[in-house]
């Protein structure tokens, strides 16, 4: 199985398989201008860790769901900021079935 990625004009949705890493650097070499990251869990204790740059980068969105309905969200680039982030997700640092919704500026 592999991650399922759906791209829109200002949104990227990723359904994780719990084993495959996600590295968007080939598609977005300058990084992404992220407005928000939202984790949609499917079960209690689902996890996600979004790192900066690569598998050894610092984790800046690290969440654990209390229930299957406990969406977690983090906002970036408020106001006029347009900082770019190079995201990386290690395959075994996200639970199977978790959806990450990335809203872009």
Query: With helix as H, strand as E and coil as C, how does 66-99 read?
Result: CCCCCCEEEECCCCCCCCCECEEECHHHECCCCE
User: Taking 80 as the threshold, does the pLDDT of residue 94 lie above it?
Assistant: yes
Euclidean distance between the first and the last CA atom of the chain, given in angstroms as a whole number: 30
Q: How far apart are alpha carbons 92 and 30 in whole angstroms?
A: 25
Q: How far apart are CA 34 and CA 46, in angstroms?
A: 23
3-class secondary structure, 17: coil
- DSSP assignment letter at 103: E
The structural domains of the chain, ordered by start, are 4-104 (2.60.120)
Please, what is the average pLDDT of the chain? 95
Per-residue pLDDT tens digits for 47-87: 999 999 999 999 999 999 999 999 999 999 777 788 999 99
Among the listed residues 12, 4, 10, 73, the one whose alpha carbon sits nearest the alpha carbon of residue 37: 73
Task: Calculate the CA 23 to chain-centre distance.
Answer: 10
Convert the pLDDT of each residue in 14-28 to its tens digit.
999 999 999 999 999
């Amino acid at each position: 199985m592999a991650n399922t990625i759906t791209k829109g004009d200002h949104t990227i949705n990723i359904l994780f398989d719990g084993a495959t890493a996600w590295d968007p650097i080939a598609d977005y070499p300058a990084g992404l201008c992220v407005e928000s990251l939202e984790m949609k869990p499917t079960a209690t204790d689902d996890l996600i860790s979004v790192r900066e740059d690569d598998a050894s980068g610092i984790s800046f969105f690290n969440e654990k769901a209390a229930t299957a309905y406990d969406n977690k969200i983090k906002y970036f680039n408020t106001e006029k900021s347009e900082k770019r982030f190079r995201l990386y997700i290690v395959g075994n640092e996200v639970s199977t079935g978790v959806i990450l919704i990335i809203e872009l500026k």
